[in-house]
Amino acid sequence: MQDYKEKLKPSYQKKQQPMQKEITGELESTSSKPVQETVETLKLEKEQLQKQLAEQTEHAKQVMTFAQKNIKEKLAEQIHEELVLQSKLEKLEYTNENQNKLIEQLTRKLANLEVKRQTLVAEKQQLQTQLRCEEVLIQQVKAAKTELADYKLKFVTLVDVEKEPFIDIQKENEEQLKMLGQQERELVSLRAERDYFKDRYNQIMQTRIMKWIGKYWLIRKRLRSKK
C-alpha cells in the first residue's frame, strides 16, 4: 500500500505543478483580486485532491484485500487437492504393492501345482507301465494254470494206471493250484485297490488344481478390471 501511495505521489505532483503554474499565472494576471479568495480556492482544490487520493487509496486497499483473499483461498484449495491426491497416490501404491505380492504368491502356487501335475503324470505313466507288466503276469499265471490243469489231467490218467505212486504228486499239484488261485485273487484285489486309490488321488489333485487355477484367473481378472 505504501508503494501504491508512492506511485500516486508523482502523478499528484505532476497534477500540482500545472495547477501551481496556473494559479501563479492567475495571481500575476489578476493581481487585483483579493488574496483571501485565492487562498480559499487553493484550499478547495487541496481538499478535492486529498479526497480523490483517499478514495483511490481506499479502492486500492479493497482491491489488494480482495486479491489477497482470493490468493489465500486458491492456495488453500490447491494445498487440499495436493493432500488428497497424495493420499490417493499412497493408497494406490499400497494396493498395488499388495496386489503384486498376491500375484507372486499365486504364481508360486501355480508353479508348485505345475510341478505336482508333472509328478502325477510321471507317476501315472509309471503305474500304466506297472499295469501292463501286471497284465502280462496275469496272462502268464493263466497260462501256467492252464498248463497245470493239463498236467492234472495227465496225472489223473497216470493215477488211474498207477494210483498209489501219484497220490502225493496229485496233492502237491492241487496245493500249487490253490496257491496260484490265491495269488491270482490277491493280485486282482491289489490291482483293484491300486486303481481305486489312483483314481481317487487323481480326482483330488485335479479338483485342487482346477480350484487354484480358478482363483488365480479370478483374481487376475479383478486386478485387470481395477487397473
HEC assignment per residue over 86-130: HHHHHHHHHHHHHHHHHHHHHHHHHHHHHHHHHHHHHHHHHHHHH
The distance from CA 105 to its chain's CA centroid, rounded to whole angstroms, is 12
φ, ψ at 93 (rounded to 5°): -65, -40
> What pLDDT is recorded for position 5?
45
Q: What is the CA radius of gyration of the chain?
A: 58
> What pLDDT is recorded for position 147?
81
> What pLDDT is recorded for position 158?
67
Q: Is 33 left (phi over 0), alpha (psi -120 to 50) or beta?
A: beta
> What pLDDT is recorded for position 40?
80
Three-class SS of residue 148? helix
**Angle between the 167-226 and 35-161 helix axes, to the nearest 10 degrees?**
170
Per-residue pLDDT tens, the chain, 227 aa: give them. Answer: 445 444 444 444 444 454 455 545 554 444 445 677 777 888 888 888 888 888 888 888 888 888 888 888 888 888 888 898 988 889 888 988 888 888 888 888 888 888 888 888 888 888 888 888 878 888 887 887 888 778 778 767 766 666 666 577 777 778 888 888 888 888 888 888 888 888 887 888 888 888 888 777 887 777 777 65
> What pLDDT is recorded for position 99?
87
> What pLDDT is recorded for position 7?
47
> What pLDDT is recorded for position 165?
60
Q: Would you say 177 and 145 are in contact if contact means Cβ atoms under 8 Å apart? A: yes
> What pLDDT is recorded for position 56?
87
